[in-house]
Amino acid sequence: MLALMKSLMNSIFGKIIVMIIIAGMAFWGADSAWTTMSTGLGSNLAAAGPRGIDLTTLDRRVENLLRNLNANSEKPITKAEAADQGIVDQVFELEKAKIVNLGYAGAIGVKPSTNAVVEQLKTVDAFKNPLTGELDLNTYREVLYQNRFTKEEYEQQVSDDLTLKTLGEAASAAIYPPQILASIQALYIGETRDVSWFILDASEAPEPDAPTDEEIRAFYDENLTALEQPERRAIDMLRVSADDFLADVTVTEQEIATIYEATKSERFSEPDQRTYIELYFADRDTARAAFGLLAGGADPAGLPGVLSSETKTGYRESVSDTALADAMFGPGKQSGALFGPREVDDRWLVARLVSVQRGAVFPIETVSEEIRDELARERAQVLFFEKLDTLDRSIGAGYPLAQIASELPVPVMSFAPVDQTGMTEDGVTITGLTQARDAFSDAFRINAGDVSARFDGEEAVYLTSPRAIIAPSTPEFDTIKNDIRQTLVAQREANAMQSYADSVVEKLKSGETTLTAAATAADTVVESPSVPVTRITAEESGLPSPAINAIFSGSEGDVYSYPNRSGDMFMIVQLNTIAPPSDAALEVLGTQATASLNQSLRDDIRFATDAEIRNAIKLNVNDNAIVAYKKSIATEQ
């Protein structure tokens, strides 16, 4: 192979071939290896000092963020959408800022001790043993495994968080503003603004002239591009879920009875009442000794060192301590179950379950349909997963959507033409179609009759196929003439109401009228806030945010107007007077002003510290690698 390359390089033709190969490698991203070597980043996307972030870590950060964002979202965001919306870039920027600070900390030797990391782990409730309330290594490992973290990765993350906290706190520790600044701040936040307003009904404005046919035509001709209807597609959709196979499963009465008998005490009965005894001890060692004696069958009444004891009977909901409730009311807990020792209000608690009073069992007739439905859905889910194999084979064979549906069999749903937002020409959004998400988006990238890629939603699998493609077009003038007329009428009415409000404001500013007279003319009354408006109380004044900003940057006598959302009512606001706070108010505001300045100073110092850190340590970034990563996300989707 080397001999061949050498011989090629000896000819003009060979050199051209090699140049084409090199250009192709660059086009397909093979130049990233050269970039990596030249930047010294190795496998990292970015690095500062001894710290860096690689592609795997960034990808995990992005996935964790999306998992949290999508947990309660009606419209989850895909990784490809996150890249398009700049979320991936934002995560990368945060990570770069983080490694710069960590790199600087490493360079100056700031690192938390192992004991500090362990103490931090002890504060995480998820890692605690439900009986003892202390850090439990088995629980710790299990929680990390469920969240796809290794022990080393998580502990490094905890260490990093402690390091960043130390850097931030060290920079702003023991910072206090001078008294003169606190006094100025108190004057600033305590300054009062006396304001009044009334609500102007702008619908009383003179009615504007109706648009003529010539004006409507002129508007049409001047706005042809804006009036163009987007491309729309008539889409067929296949939605496959376990519900489609419920009719294909059978649940017998014997199966229902078997499930009922096996689970009736846990699932189909009134809540249990349980009796347990709480024993309190002065110290941990005494409590541990008592725990051991109870485990050996000792009588609680004869335990040494008991400060107090209380026997309680109740339902699980009556126990506010989650760990205690789990220990006394958890599934399978029997008389003799123990809890503790747990520190509670400077004492140590040990609890023992004394007895279980079972709740009344519901008759099978009242729960049989619930059991039947559960069993049917479980079996339908099994059928659903089996049908997915059939679905994939049909997709792989290149079948049209109708044939794929018949193989399952599941009906095809057909929708009226929609644009890429899922909206019809009439302005109706077809949510049933947009739920297909990536499959819906695919329908605008493929030809009519083709089948989209499969999209797996939370409860269903989707495929789409465009039935017809309607090209972008501008409606004929006669078709939308009335719509344009309504638009122009609405515009003129809005402008007339705004002009009406502006005229009132101008009269107030010029002194032609007073606020009271203007309110009387508008058949309304002047209102004022119930408390003086300061920068502290402004949010409680009832004024809109833009008005608050205006009155604290304005002068005495200024007048402003603010429309409501529909634009037919205006708040006319006048700034009457500006007054400094009284001596009594200044005394009260002193502490608040100092706290406000403290926070501002800390923020400023932290900002300055971050800038100095950025200057002190170099950040290297592999821009090509991050671009390639975002492209790979789009390809995966």
Token output for 449: 């009759």
Work out the burial of residue 574: count CB atoms within 10 Å of its CB; fewer than 13 is exposed, 13-18 middle, 19 or more buried. buried
pLDDT at 131: 58
d(Cα 113, Cα 40) in Å, to the nearest integer? 30
d(Cα 220, Cα 230) in Å, to the nearest integer? 17
DSSP 320: -
pLDDT digits 0-9 by tens, 233-250: 999 999 999 999 999 999
Token output for 634: 């789009």
Backbone φ, ψ for residue 357 (5° rounding): -105, 105
Work out the burial of residue 602: count CB atoms within 10 Å of its CB; fewer than 13 is exposed, 13-18 middle, 19 or more buried. middle
Judged by DSSP in three states, 410 sits in coil
Q: Token match 């609405």: residue?
A: 490
Q: Please name the amino acid found at residue 135.
A: L
Segments in the chain below pLDDT 50: 1-39
d(Cα 613, Cα 104) in Å, to the nearest integer? 7
Token output for 522: 């508008």
d(Cα 443, Cα 53) in Å, to the nearest integer? 37
d(Cα 288, Cα 133) in Å, to the nearest integer? 13
pLDDT at 494: 93
- SS3 per residue for 486-538: HHHHHHHHHHHHHHHHHHHHHHHHHCCCCHHHHHHHCCCCCECCCCCECCCCH
Average model confidence (pLDDT) for the chain? 85
Token output for 144: 């990390």
pLDDT at 34: 36
d(Cα 68, Cα 77) in Å, to the nearest integer? 11
d(Cα 625, Cα 602) in Å, to the nearest integer? 36
129-160: b (≥16 Cβ within 10 Å) or e: ebbbbebbeebbeeebeeeebeeeebbeebbb
Please provide the DSSP assignment of 580-615 as one string.
Answer: PPPHHHHHHHHHHHHHHHHHHHHHHHHHHHHHHHHH
Going by C-beta distance under 8 Å and a sequence separation of 6 or more, which residues neighbour residue 624?
29, 31, 32, 35
pLDDT at 607: 83
Judged by DSSP in three states, 470 sits in strand
